[in-house]
Amino acid sequence: MGNKRLILCAVLAVCLTWARAQSWMTVGPYLQELTTDGVTVVFEHDIPSISWLEVREKGSTEVMEFYQTVNGRVKAYSQILGMKNPAVPVQNFAIRAEGLKPATTYEYRVRAHKVVSENSNGVSANTAFSSIYNGTWYQFTTQDPQQKEHHIFITSDMHNRPDTLEALLKYLDYQTCDRIIYNGDMINYMQNGSQEPYTGFINTSVNLFARNKPFEYLRGNHETRGDMSRHIMDYFPRKSGQLYNAYRWGDMEIILLDCGEDKIDTAEEYFGMASFFSYREEMARWFQELIRTDEFRTAKYRIIICHFTMLLNNDKPTDKFGGEPHLITLLTPLLKQCDIDMLISGHYHPDTYTYMDKNYNNKGNQFEEYNIGNHSAMRIDIADGKFNLKIVSSKGVVLLDKQVKDAKSGRKLVYITTKMEN
């Protein structure tokens, strides 16, 4: 009987420790910006803490530790403005693990010490057993630089409908996709409490896959709005410090563009504090340099993702909604200089098929564009020079299913939206 009591007490102690540890983690962890040599892990604690990552190669007991540092100091919770501003994720961490091997599976977990005081010299942390967080071990696999097959899920314009997002992910078998891409307007605005990104789509992603596989996120025009919009990089950190980026995934170059707001900078909603026109000009200069790089030029496949379309077909007055035509004017000449396979856009919530024989100012893009989102999602499977494209509705109806043997052949002007069933 004595041994049984000891065993029962030990089990209860473990359970209590596990339950206490789980209460620290309010969001995540979720993975961002997976590369051949690293990954960023994002999470949030509801207990003031100093947190770090433990990473080990699968099958190994040798553990590496990684901390988030800010200007030479290990980050503590209070370094994000503190609790005086409820819009800020005061205990949000984004820790990058680097120096890893390519195409290698690693295990990781979050650990933390509770912060008990803060003074002019820094913070002190409680290292007693009851004040230590030991997270669950998860795993990820770094990017394979020799990857020649690609399986991509992409959607946009969910506008704070996590159930719709979950349905679309499942209809397109997200578990067999290498990459998940969210192309903007996943929430209506980044507002503390009612429209924040956790309940909008991050939590759904964490529950399904994001602890072990990253999602890529592009800002839409709606994510430029709200009291949390200025803190977007806390949720979706990038090594470059920019929301627009390009990555080499094996033999593919993927370009993720940031459109900014679709309104003009002087729109009354921004109180004179918007500067998206100069921001897009900065991005266009970056893109002009990118297309000259060996990384871009040697890629077998090139896909651009952007929330705004490159084929303008709307009646909105440009004196108010000038953001999209501005982006098109900047990028169309550059896109004609490079050899991309296709562009995926969102923003318009299309409900019919539309085939266009011309685009903005009749300039004629030399690639296919697919405008999807809101009620649809797309899966792209690429292998042996062939593109398999599948689009489904939020009700599971297949809207498009075709194979393109060579996306660069034929060179037709086409703007394809998805058809919504009755």
Q: How many residues does the chain have?
A: 422
Between CA 274 and CA 265 the distance in angstroms is 5
Which three-class secondary structure state does DSSP give residue 247? strand
Domain CATH number, residue 361? 3.60.21.10
Between CA 189 and CA 198 the distance in angstroms is 12
Is residue 94 domain-shared with residue 239, that is, in the same domain?
no
Between CA 165 and CA 401 the distance in angstroms is 20
Considering 122, 141, 160, which residue would you say is the last residue of a domain? 141
Instruction: Summarize pLDDT for 253-278 with one digit per residue, the tens.
Output: 999 999 988 877 667 677 667 788 89
To which residue do tokens 């498009």 refer?
400
Considering 141, 168, 197, which residue would you say is the last residue of a domain? 141
The percentage of the chain sitting over the pLDDT mark of 70, rounded to a whole number, equals 78
Is residue 97 domain-shared with residue 235, that is, in the same domain?
no
- Element (DSSP H or E) covering residue 215: strand 215-218
pTM over 0.85: yes
Is residue 188 domain-shared with residue 317, that is, in the same domain?
yes
Is residue 55 domain-shared with residue 158, that is, in the same domain?
no
pLDDT range class, residue 125, cuts 50, 70, 90: confident
Is residue 165 in some structural domain? yes
Mean pLDDT of 152-169: 96
Q: Does the pLDDT at position 411 exceed 50?
A: no
Is residue 422 in some structural domain? no
Between CA 18 and CA 136 the distance in angstroms is 9
Instruction: Summarize pLDDT for 57-100 with one digit per residue, the tens.
Output: 999 999 999 999 988 888 887 554 444 455 444 578 999 999 99
Is residue 285 in some structural domain? yes
Domains identified in the chain, total number: 2
Q: In this structure, are residues 330 and 281 in contact, taking their beta carbons and an 8 Å threshold?
A: yes
Other Cβ atoms within 10 Å of 12 Cβ, number: 10
DSSP line for 174-194: GGG-SEEEEES-SSS---TTT
Q: Does the pLDDT at position 340 exceed 80?
A: yes
Is residue 132 domain-shared with residue 165, that is, in the same domain?
no
Domain CATH number, residue 59? 2.60.40.10
Between CA 387 and CA 380 the distance in angstroms is 7
Q: What are phi and psi of 81, to 5 degrees?
A: 65, -15
Domain encompassing residue 269: 150-417
Between CA 185 and CA 196 the distance in angstroms is 12
pLDDT at 135: 95
